[in-house]
Chain A
């Protein structure tokens, strides 16, 4: 059974997810990073497939992606690395990347390999809902993969409802109108109002908040007003600094746990 489905069946609040770029800082880092997340009790993981032109990402993830590609990271290698963790890793995995590398790989081959590697779901920010539902939805469902949509503070209510209907796991709420990694704490009031508005919509899927989660306050805000939080840039910055996946995850957990 899909690991993410299992997780969401038994846990619906205080979810903690971490995003990292596969193949960063070294080609072989992927497996060590994933196991360190499992040891630290991370609920689910987003595995970033590096792409040369990541439009929705800020400078940190652009840079980690550039390094990972230079290290030689490819889709095939990523699937091989994930295959090797089967049996050792129980943390649910979501692949997050951009559409073009998936198209080149072949969408059906991608889905098949992802399923075989134990992946639970996929996030492709530049595959819009209409193109997904008209061209790819059946494939993803056939292979038992969740497809996760993003919403933003400017997404209108009827579109959020449509996304809720098309979703199967959770909805990824981008906290502010921004690329990843922009820590604009001044907009906190606006963000809280947005999360409150989402809560009042009583959506049928849990809302998990990402973009700009980097400390205790931003994490607690997400936990208080939604079902969970996704941390990406803040973790990658620590990983880049320490080059040690154990240290990086411990420092991150410390920084978000301290009052």
Chain B
């Protein structure tokens, strides 16, 4: 299994820690602490207990009979949408918040795009009595007002970010800047498999619980632990990293990432990083990103705010380059139709992010004996306004 980076944080040629000296100590402290702390019995038992009783794990692996019949194969849905706060995001937040506490940190900061990671962070901070500040692009605070209200109700401070494009990438920049300016007691809780080493590895390890559970659930239902396909959506790539983790390099499972191509990969309004991006540095990691020929980071576009990121985690950049996983673009329209289709066929309204993974079913052919697992990373309540506008 090759799911971990080397000791400098490289997955092949991707990863590393391209950070200003101003962040060196903060990142070094985390790098020295994370594996040590995560290996202790007290951390593991506290995490296991919270994942079970607070997050609601294990999440079900649901055999989607109607969808299976339509596509002539065996389709399972990994129900991350049933986690507390409605998405897989909490797996990572609980793990990092426990880590932060053990590192003696007194203040949690986080970036958020649509607000899902911000809400998850505010939630766990309320539980663990940690002060919490969430950076959110000003545009996003307006588009996702309900999540701002949720964070405020949970006791978090939400800071609208007015720099750059006022979206997720700028929220990430400002969270990092805040960390530079307040290095002593602050823990930066990144929401995806992005950022400088050790974050991509840390977040992937915490999300790996998704594929861990899939294995035992498949063993029970299918008599084998490795599926033929795992399909997940990819923005920064945390739910895909978790869903792929234990199957990477096993020789049997085909891994498919669905990236958001917005209005089409060549429309100028896309977030399909792997389809149109190139290698470079974004937020402290060497990866694939959407950029101009002059190396300026471009703005991403997707109808799904959670996939609206101009880069991708270094693990995915490497899985793509080494051909260990396949990344396919899915348009806004395709995702919308897939969301409606799941809703009508199985009675589950998926998040728009997860709908991108579902749309892959129309792009691949499967054998009747194939076992296909789709990571249903989140629920669609937060997207009702988008659905309403689209289908009106």
Contact = CB atoms under 8 A, between A and B. Distances in A.
Given A104-B295, A179-B181, A62 B164 contact: yes
**Chain B: number of interface residues, binned into ranges:** 20 to 34
B138 interface: no
Contacts of A156: 25
A126 B283 CA distance: 10
Contacts of A103: 279-281, 295
Contacts of B173: 53, 55
A238 interface: no
A66 B16 CA distance: 27
A155 B281 CA distance: 24
Contacts of A53: 164, 169-170, 173, 282-283, 297
Nearest to A51: B296
Contacts of B104: none
Nearest to B180: A179
Contacts of B56: none
A86 to B, nearest CB: 23
B22 interface: yes
A20 interface: no
A104 B177 contact: no
Contacts of B49: none
Contact of B21 (A74, A75, A128, A178): A128
B16 A131 contact: yes
A53 to B, nearest CB: 5
Contacts, number: 107
B19 to A, nearest CB: 6
Instruction: Count chain A CB atoms within 10 A of each CB in B170, B284, B295 and give the residue with the most.
Output: B295
Nearest to B27: A128
Contacts of A174: 21-22
A130 B24 CA distance: 12
B181 A182 contact: yes
B143 to A, nearest CB: 21
B284 to A, nearest CB: 7
A196 to B, nearest CB: 20
Interface string B306-333: 0000000000000000000000000000
Given A177-B180, A177-B183, A126 B18 contact: yes
A144 interface: no
B280 A100 contact: yes
A66 B164 contact: yes
Interface string B172-204: 010011001101000000000000000000000
Contacts of B386: none
A127 interface: yes
B40 to A, nearest CB: 26
Instruction: Count chain A CB atoms within 10 A of each CB in B17, B280, B281 and give the residue with the most.
Output: B281
Interface stretch (A113-121, A145-153, A227-235): A145-153
Interface string A74-86: 1100000000000
B163 interface: yes
A178 B20 contact: no
Nearest to B163: A62
Contact of A56 (B22, B25, B293, B296): B22
A81 B84 CA distance: 57
Contact of A127 (B18, B280, B293, B296): B18
B133 interface: no
B297 A56 contact: no
Nearest to B289: A100
B291 interface: yes
Contacts of A125: 20-22
B362 interface: no
A55 B16 contact: no
A177 B176 CA distance: 13
20 contacts: A53-B283, A55-B180, A59-B163, A62-B163, A62-B164, A66-B164, A69-B296, A74-B294, A100-B280, A100-B282, A100-B291, A100-B295, A102-B295, A103-B295, A104-B295, A105-B295, A126-B19, A150-B21, A155-B21, A179-B22
Interface of A: 51-53, 55-56, 58-59, 62-63, 66, 69, 74-75, 98-105, 125-128, 130-131, 149-152, 154-156, 159, 174, 177-179, 182
| Closest CB pairs A-B (n = 7) | A101-B295, A104-B295, A125-B20, A56-B20, A52-B296, A150-B21, A100-B281
Given A55-B283, A150-B22, A178-B180, 12 more contacts: A51-B296, A58-B177, A62-B163, A100-B291, A100-B297, A102-B295, A104-B291, A125-B22, A126-B19, A128-B18, A152-B22, A177-B183
